[in-house]
């Protein structure tokens, strides 16, 4: 009785499902790790925003929040602070873009009123060609 000869095609068809499953699992692991790293990148901004919001809610004066030197967002990676009053007017700002006070995209402050906080990854300052991650938190009874 002669045994069937194994061809390269048989080997390929035998290992193809295993290669597919391995590729999919590697892709899932990669996507999970990438998402975790990306989400953790927002943590410092969220911490800064929450700390400032807690201080303001306790009645801390706004004049101590900002440094005298304004950071130009076009040339630095330093975090910046902007505090708005109930009329959407800038009260505290330590940032500029090409010498001008940056403006938030329309609707950001309205959304901040609806939610506890907002994290905006992506490109909220498209007109300046910059990509920033913004964290907004509403504070009632701004201590001024």
Domain ranges of the chain: 8-40, 43-137
| Residue labelled with tokens 């940056």 | 102
Neighbours of 137 (CB within 10 A): 17
CA 65 to chain centre: 22
Beta bridge partners of 100: 97
Q: What is the mean pLDDT of residues 40-53?
A: 83
Neighbours of 92 (CB within 10 A): 19
pLDDT tens digits along 28-46: 999 999 999 988 887 888 8
- At 54, the pLDDT band (50, 70, 90 cuts) reads confident
- Is 41 in contact with 33 (CB distance < 8 Å)? no
Tokens coding 30 = 């990669």
């Amino acid at each position: 009785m002669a045994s069937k000869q194994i061809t390269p095609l048989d080997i390929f068809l035998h290992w193809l499902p295993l290669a597919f499953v391995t590729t999919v699992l590697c892709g899932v692991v990669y996507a999970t790790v990438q998402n975790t790293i990306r989400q953790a990148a927002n943590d410092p901004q969220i911490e800064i925003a929450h700390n400032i919001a807690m201080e303001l809610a306790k009645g801390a004066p706004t004049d101590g929040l900002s440094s005298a030197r304004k950071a130009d967002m076009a040339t630095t990676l330093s975090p910046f602070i902007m505090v708005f009053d109930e009329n959407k007017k800038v009260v505290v700002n330590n940032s500029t873009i090409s010498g001008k006070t940056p403006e938030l995209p329309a609707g950001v402050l309205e959304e901040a009123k609806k939610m506890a906080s907002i994290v905006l990854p992506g490109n909220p300052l498209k007109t300046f060609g910059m990509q920033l991650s913004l964290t907004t938190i509403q504070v009632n009874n701004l201590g001024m």
